[in-house]
Structure 1
Amino acid sequence: MHTVILPASCTRTAAQALLPELVAAMSHGPFAIDGSAVSQVGQAVLQLLVSARRSGEGATIAPSAALLDAAMLAGLAGELFDEVTA
């Protein structure tokens, strides 16, 4: 299974850089997203992650505490992660 690794700072610029990699990963079947190093995340990356979960066979996402917190604040934790521990 292919794994896409998110950078520590997931800004709009990072979202633009990640898009081609995520599209390529989706074309090869199920894939994982490693967000364990994320310390900052913006809305653009959250939207990209929702799209990755809903597209194709759906990605599994391993979040950092910062990514999980941002998703929870945006009301997206249940959408993005298989298991949510609050």
Structure 2
Amino acid sequence: MTMELISMAAEGAAAATGGVTGNLTMAIGGAGAALGVGMVGSKAVEAVGRNPGAFGNILTLGIIAMALAEGLGIIAYLGGF
């Protein structure tokens, strides 16, 4: 009986650790994606302020860069499971 309880406790601890690690991975990935999108957005606004005539090109490149940053966040989210 004692050995069964010890093995059940060990399995529970391993499952709990896996969940914490997965949540931590998702949190770091989400924070990184948020920082990336924020930096791209701020630099795009700064670039348009310096050169308003290049608005279309800057918008296109900004959207692509934001999509790539969000894609990394989604990969981190899916990797946490």
User: Normalised by the shorter chain, which TM-score bucket?
Assistant: under 0.3
- Give the number of the structure whose residues are more often helix, by fraction: 2
TM-score of the aligned structures, taking structure 2 as reference length: 0.27
* Higher RCO (C-alpha under 8 Å, 6+ residues apart): 2
- Give the number of the structure whose residues are more often strand, by fraction: 1
TM-score of the aligned structures, taking structure 1 as reference length: 0.25
